[in-house]
Amino acid sequence: MVRGSIGAFATCDHAMASAILSDSKRFGSFAVAKHKPIDTTVHDDEGRRLIVPMDDSFLSMDPPDHTRLRRMVAPWFSPRAIRQRTETIEAMLEEILDELGRRGGWDAVNDLSVRVPIRVIAAFFGIGEDNYEDFRRWGGIIGTSVDGIRTMSDLRDFRRMLIEMRDFFNDLIVKRTAEPGDDLVSFMVQAAPEGEPLTGDEMIATCGVLLGAGFETTVNLIGNCILTVLGHEDVRQRLLSDPDLIPGAVEEVLRWDAPVQYLLRVTTEPVTMAGVDIPADAPVFVVVAGANRDPRVFGDDAGELDITRPNSRKHLTFGDGIHLCVGAGLARIEAAATLRVLLRKFPDLQLADGAQRRPTRVVRGMTTLPVRQPVAG
Ligand code: HEM
């Protein structure tokens, strides 16, 4: 645990990171911190407070509200529900890659990676293609906003997006209340009479956090997986000769090239950790990417990529404790299915020039990853 010059604390130690993430009583969410350096509330033109998915959803809540709201979405992420989705995801990938195969080169992020989670998330709400573009834009804005909003123009975009998203989900709630289907919004609306009813704002925040937490992160995981495989010929050859190694490879990419680099907590009371006194209301950075390379857990070669590493799964990329990512199983399936179908259809795919990293801090991945098929002969 180290103390930075601006009064913030940080750890890269795996045991300490895990302990902090598992102790939501003493290390609370930044969104509900008592003393915040800046006011993060946003209002519409009529002065109504706008729902900010990452701050107002169960992602930032403590029990019992966290338990009540997480329970609403949990059945949609059960191993059985995810297994049922696998076939649909692979069929969708076949279709996308058949289309891309007709081109000589394409962008593995914008033409492929973004299309997978957006369709999967839209399916939760029973939404079709017409809304993919909006979902993609909203998901992208929420994803980058976790770094903090730095310019007035970013704030304007963020506010406009929150209004559009609120209006969209409000309309959807009205529609599904009148005519329920077999989607998550209908489930939330129908489940309400059995337990404590969800408010409209809670439903909007729940829908928003699935988009906010499940889109950009998964895009980056898929992009990082493709970059790793195409950038390491030995890895490509091993996966081509034994596709059963693909889930382990995805796990190792999650550890080694984590799409979420750090998480932020705020102390709710004074805490002493590893001899360091941390006062109440202090920001604590849990550096997941560092903990994922802690030699005490992953050995002296923790910095190396090893797709058969027996304990890659001990990474903290999906967090820990009560907020452990509810979509982890789904993200794993999406990435593994992408690699499986991609390698089957394009075993010789190559990286092309022009790859660019995202200029973000919390999420790590590529904004663009051009690839091309080798010219025959
Ligand atoms: C929570 C990472 C994919 C939905 C989290 C947390 C992390 C994380 C680190 C905990 C945050 C914290 O403790 O502050 C990731 C990564 C993903 C991914 C790296 C992909 C590679 C998904 C997907 C979904 C999803 C696909 C849903 C469609 C959620 C939700 C939470 C969450 C709802 C809040 C859980 C709670 O508070 O109980 N995710 N996530 N995530 N994630 Fe994911």
Sequence ranges of the domains in the chain: 2-34+64-372
pLDDT band, residue 197 (cuts 50/70/90): confident
- Which H, E and C letters describe 308-322, residue by residue? CCCCHHHCCCCCCHH
pLDDT band, residue 38 (cuts 50/70/90): low
The finding on whether 349 has its CB within 6 A of some atom of ligand 1 is no
Spatial distance between the Cα atoms of 261 and 363, rounded to a whole number of angstroms: 6
CA of 72 to the centre of ligand 1 (A): 15
Spatial distance between the Cα atoms of 30 and 260, rounded to a whole number of angstroms: 17
Taking the CA of residue 258 as reference, the ligand 1 atom at the shortest distance is: 19
pLDDT for res 377: 59
Write the residue with the smallest CA distance to atom 14 of ligand 1.
Answer: 263
Taking the CA of residue 59 as reference, the ligand 1 atom at the shortest distance is: 37
The finding on whether 319 has its CB within 6 A of some atom of ligand 1 is yes
Backbone φ and ψ of 202, nearest 5°? -65, -40
pLDDT digits (tens, 9 = 90+) for 231-254: 999 999 999 999 999 999 999 999
Spatial distance between the Cα atoms of 204 and 145, rounded to a whole number of angstroms: 18
- Give the pair of three-digit tokens for residue 36: 């915040």
CA of 214 to the centre of ligand 1 (A): 6
The one-letter code for the residue type at 241 is S
Spatial distance between the Cα atoms of 193 and 184, rounded to a whole number of angstroms: 15
Which pairs from 169-177 meet CB under 8 Å and 24+ separation?
169/203, 169/204, 169/207, 169/208, 170/200, 170/204, 172/125, 172/127, 172/207, 173/200, 173/203, 173/204, 176/126
The finding on whether 118 has its CB within 6 A of some atom of ligand 1 is no
The finding on whether 318 has its CB within 6 A of some atom of ligand 1 is yes
Backbone φ and ψ of 9, nearest 5°? -120, 155
CA of 363 to the centre of ligand 1 (A): 12
pLDDT for res 92: 95
Write the residue with the smallest CA distance to atom 34 of ligand 1.
Answer: 59
pLDDT for res 104: 85
Write the residue with the smallest CA distance to atom 38 of ligand 1.
Answer: 323
pLDDT for res 35: 65
Backbone φ and ψ of 359, nearest 5°? -85, 30
Spatial distance between the Cα atoms of 325 and 186, rounded to a whole number of angstroms: 23
Spatial distance between the Cα atoms of 327 and 318, rounded to a whole number of angstroms: 9
Write the residue with the smallest CA distance to atom 5 of ligand 1.
Answer: 325
- Cα distances from 80 to residues 74, 76, 86, 313, in angstroms, run 11, 9, 10, 20
Q: What is the mean pLDDT of residues 348-372?
A: 95
DSSP 58: G
Taking the CA of residue 264 as reference, the ligand 1 atom at the shortest distance is: 14
Mean pLDDT of the chain: 93
The finding on whether 323 has its CB within 6 A of some atom of ligand 1 is yes
The region of weakest confidence among 1-5, 256-260, 324-328 is: 1-5
Q: Which residues pair with 227 in a beta bridge?
A: none
CA of 59 to the centre of ligand 1 (A): 8
Write the residue with the smallest CA distance to atom 7 of ligand 1.
Answer: 318
DSSP 49: B
Q: 81-115: string of b/e by CB count within 10 Å (b at 16+)?
A: ebeebeeebbebbeebbeebeeeeebbbbbbbbbb
Taking the CA of residue 259 as reference, the ligand 1 atom at the shortest distance is: 19
pLDDT band, residue 191 (cuts 50/70/90): confident
Q: Is the pLDDT of residue 192 over 80?
A: no
The one-letter code for the residue type at 130 is D
CA of 331 to the centre of ligand 1 (A): 9
pLDDT for res 195: 64
The SS3 call for residue 85 is helix
Which pairs from 180-185 meet CB under 8 Å and 24+ separation?
181/126, 182/126, 183/123, 183/124, 183/125, 183/126, 184/73, 184/76, 184/124, 184/125, 184/210, 185/125, 185/126
Place of tokens 């299915």: 337
pLDDT digits (tens, 9 = 90+) for 255-271: 999 999 999 999 999 99
Q: Is the pLDDT of residue 359 over 80?
A: yes
The finding on whether 331 has its CB within 6 A of some atom of ligand 1 is yes
The finding on whether 330 has its CB within 6 A of some atom of ligand 1 is yes
Q: Is the pLDDT of residue 193 over 80?
A: no
Q: Which ranges of 74-199 would DSSP assign to H, the alpha helix?
A: 79-101, 115-124, 132-145, 152-178, 184-191
CA of 319 to the centre of ligand 1 (A): 8
Write the residue with the smallest CA distance to atom 28 of ligand 1.
Answer: 214
The one-letter code for the residue type at 137 is R
Q: Above 0.90 for ipTM, yes or no?
A: yes
Place of tokens 């904004």: 367
Pocket test for ligand 1, best of 211, 325, 330 (most atoms within 8 A of CB): 325
CA of 282 to the centre of ligand 1 (A): 24
Taking the CA of residue 220 as reference, the ligand 1 atom at the shortest distance is: 21
Q: Is the pLDDT of residue 6 over 90?
A: no
Q: Which residues pair with 273 in a beta bridge?
A: 276
Q: What is the mean pLDDT of residues 281-306?
A: 97
CA of 334 to the centre of ligand 1 (A): 14
CATH of 2-34+64-372, one of 3.30.300.90, 1.20.140.10, 1.10.10.60, 1.10.630.10: 1.10.630.10
Place of tokens 């963020």: 158
Write the residue with the smallest CA distance to atom 21 of ligand 1.
Answer: 218
CA of 364 to the centre of ligand 1 (A): 14
